[in-house]
Structure 1
Amino acid sequence: MESESVKTEDVYQTLHHPPSVKNPNPTHGSPQSIRLIMILLIFNTLLLIIILILTGTFKSQNRMLTEESNSSSVLLSPTLQSAVTSCKPGWTQHLSRCYLFSNDSLNWHQAREYCRTQNASLLKVETEAEWAFITANSNEYWIGLTDEITGRWRWTDGTRYVMDRKKWGHGQPDNWSGDGPEGEHCAHLRYRKLNDLHCKIRMNYICKQ
């Protein structure tokens, strides 16, 4: 009887006071787990920032290369202008263009304006063949290249000049201010090379039609 009473009491205790069971999936992670999650979040954030920076840099470089390519095409392509069959007296014909190698001296701005009155422009070099033709003459001449307005070298028609150091004299352009605080902002030919000079100086010039 005593044994049956003990068993009955055990059954009662089991039914009304079940043993506690540890939760295999606690709602709160351990400190190590939280720290690992934070490290992963920081790593992913840094990786995303690096990807965005690299993508922006690539787009910027691609845009610059496209602009340089377009500018080179503009520089090296002949101007869309009807070919000439003959030139005015005093002008020299080369291929489909007429050139005036002046005998008088003007400053750069005066030379530009005079060429315009002749339905021409201060020289813009557009091809390597034209460069060879122009530099066969070793005299000094103003040409239609300036950085006076924008700080960047451009031709008088507004097209951008693509820098070619081989065509410039040693150390040029240097924007020397010895002849005045305004600096050197107009280009001329000197010893078959380009050189920047103060625009107010008077010299011969080349018009192109």
Structure 2
Amino acid sequence: MQMGKLNKLQSFRELQQNLSLQVIENMNSSVMIRKLSIILQNMATKLCHQLYKKDSEHKCKPCPKGWLWHEDSCYLQGQESNDWQTSEQECRNLNASLLKIKNKSVLDFIKSQTIDFWLGLSPSKNYENPKTLKEIISSSDWLINNTNGFSGEMYCGCRYYDQLVYKHCAERENFICEKLADRVKTENTLINEEPDGFL
């Protein structure tokens, strides 16, 4: 009787150990799958960038039709010039915001735009002297969606060539909206619509 209980206990311990080993193996497989998924996503994004260079409206593009794609953001030039507040509202209507230049890559990207445009900087009651765009990359003045107390008598930041200049917010300028790009869909990048050999 005692021997039977010991054998059952031994069998239970072996099962428990096998189960523990299986759980560890499954966890290792999950980590491996996660890593492979990240690698696949990065490959799809790089491939989509190459396809985008050839066809700016390729189906893999993670931005809405008509928007430009740069790194992890989408950009759209407004259709007409507006005052700063209307420009900001038009961007918000598109689930976007006025362009913010927060790194050198974005600065280089917008240099290709020939127009001058409003920037997503907080409006100021006081006129500020012009600065180079490079100087404002690390500015704490980038707008944080709070325009309480806004009036047209305030000064708003505008890109003028390679400078940041402040103008009355009621003046009319062009504007560019920006928003975060969607993730590149792997299947839209790596799989043909009609794979070879299929009808």
Into which bin does the TM-score normalised by the smaller protein fall?
A: 0.3 to 0.5
The structure number with the bigger radius of gyration is: 1
- Relative to the length of structure 2, the TM-score reads 0.46
Q: Which has the higher contact order (CA 8 A, sep 6+)?
A: 2
- Relative to the length of structure 1, the TM-score reads 0.44
